[in-house]
Amino acid sequence: MPSQKEHEIQRRFGSRIRELRQKKGLSQEGLALACGLDRTYVGSVERGERNISLVNIHRIASALGIPVKVLFNA
């Protein structure tokens, strides 16, 4: 079980992904298809329920057409 601080990091990161996805006009399903992930996985990442891997961070950034570092700029 993640600590409160770890959960907050995951929640903020997921919120950033949601923000960027919505700016691109993509649904969760559209983003999931573009990066080869399941829609439920993308939803759980956006809600801060997952400690996402570096590989999946890269896949999401690529699908959004942005450098990985943009995901970390809040």
Q: Which residues of the chain have pLDDT under 70?
A: 74
Q: What is the predicted pLDDT for the residue at 73?
A: 87
Give the Å distances, CA to CA, from 59 to 31, 47, 49, 53, 64.
Answer: 10, 18, 18, 10, 9
pTM: 0.92
